[in-house]
Amino acid sequence: MTRAEKIKETFRETKERRKTQIAKTYCLKLQNISKAKEEKLLRAFLEAKWLYNWAIKQENIFEIDGSKVRKVQVKVGESFEERELAVLGSQVRQEIVDRIKDNIKALARLKEKGKKVGRLKPKKRVSSIPFKQYGVSHRIDFERNRIHLQKLGSFRVLGLHQIPENAELSKAVLIRKPSGYYIHITCFVPKEERPTLEKPVAIDFGIKDKLTLSNGMKIDFEVPESKRLKRLQRELARKRKGSRNREKAKQKLAREYERIENRRKDAINKIIAFLKLYSMVVFQQDNISSWHKGWFSRAVQYSGIGKLRERLSSSPLPVLEIDRFEPTSRICSKCGAYFEELKLSDRTVFCPECGNKMDRDLNACLVMLRKVSPALRVVGLDRPELTPAEREASARMLGSNPYIRVSYLCEAGSSYF
């Protein structure tokens, strides 16, 4: 068997194996970094910026082999100087150039669809470096809790206990954040049958109650700006521009912003994990970006509800999106009558034809379910029933985050308990 045939056979075996696996990414933090290693890491991110800014200006970018690029032209003032890429490994250089090629192809696809796109612009700062092949560009020593990165050396890491024993290690990405350096390891683990509630759920996004579910559950979450953040902002405003104290204040402020963003991400991740229990998630394509311009822009910003909707749209969940112009709040979920006069301030709807009185957001959720499929009928009083399993799951998965508040609608749909 020739070398090309062996490679082809290996690809075929890997493709078959991936059908029974799922990709997961684990975040590890680099610890106990010496001054010499930190200087090398800073140099690596600097060289990654040089290579990126040089490559996007090349007209023959698709003919360039990044692994063979050892020197690049860097703009210094009004002139250009040649700099050597001494810290980045060959595979890392190749992956950075391949990233640029993929970005150009993605822009070309958007342009074909009629979208207005521009060119890739130079970066002032690069915060991620890819390591493509496990065993070559990086490898992990589980016994010593260390990871070795190509040409950068060995680093002690925190979080290796997250990776299961049966995981098949793949690519990695070195990330620079205000709080330190992290490595994101992608692993392939066997697929497991996740427990489901065997029922669909519809979601209505809002301002006061960020999520209203068709089972009568309301989820509200906000992570406001901390007092420490406001104090650091005042301290930064007092520092003289260009001074070292100002740079230190900017670093402290960046770390505080990162802490707040991590809390928002944790809340969104827990809500996504809870919604994964349902067999189908239905929601409307609301223009949440326009909510930032209204009176409640601060509440929208603190919650990150736009990020949650984006995650739902791009997640592998069985998701169904309804057009944003479809009427949901103005239709009675019980008889289908249309409400001619319904103000935004009316939080409860009343149908004069059938006498149905219900919370406005809950009514919209039930209309979404009926629009998706008439076969999705409800139980109880013509509405989905909140089961004990859902209550237990919401308390277990959402109750651990202090910024998430869960409430339940009464039978009438107009009050809480």
Pair (158, 285) in one structural domain: no
Pair (164, 261) in one structural domain: no
Among candidates 407, 150, 292, 136, which has minimal Cα distance to 416? 407
Pair (144, 214) in one structural domain: no
244 occurs within a structural domain: no
Pair (66, 170) in one structural domain: yes
The answer to whether 255 and 229 are in contact (CB under 8 A) is: no
287 occurs within a structural domain: yes
Q: How many domains does the chain have?
A: 2
The answer to whether 131 and 170 are in contact (CB under 8 A) is: no
Pair (129, 211) in one structural domain: no
Distances (CA, A) of 399 to 163, 220, 271, 402: 25, 12, 11, 7
Other CB atoms within a 10 A radius of the CB of residue 261 amount to 14
Q: Where are the beta strands (DSSP E) in 244-318?
A: 280-284
Q: What is the pLDDT of residue 374?
A: 57
45 occurs within a structural domain: yes
Pair (185, 209) in one structural domain: no
The Cα 401–Cα 266 span in angstroms is 8
Tokens of 184: 């994101």
pLDDT tens, N- to C-terminus, the chain (417 residues): 788 888 888 888 888 888 888 899 999 999 999 999 999 999 999 999 999 999 999 988 999 999 999 999 998 888 889 999 999 999 999 999 999 999 999 999 999 989 888 889 999 999 999 998 999 999 999 999 999 999 999 999 999 999 998 899 999 999 999 999 999 999 999 988 777 778 888 998 888 888 999 888 999 988 888 999 999 999 999 999 989 999 999 999 999 999 999 999 999 999 999 998 888 888 888 777 777 776 777 777 778 888 888 888 887 778 888 888 888 888 888 787 888 777 777 778 888 878 788 888 888 888 888 877 655 544 434 456 788 888 888 898 998 889 999 988 764 444 443
**Segments forming the whole domain that contains residue 349:** 200-227+255-408
Read off the amino acid at residue 279.
S
247 occurs within a structural domain: no
15 occurs within a structural domain: no
- Considering all CA atoms of the chain, what is the largest pairwise distance in Å, rounded to the nearest integer? 79
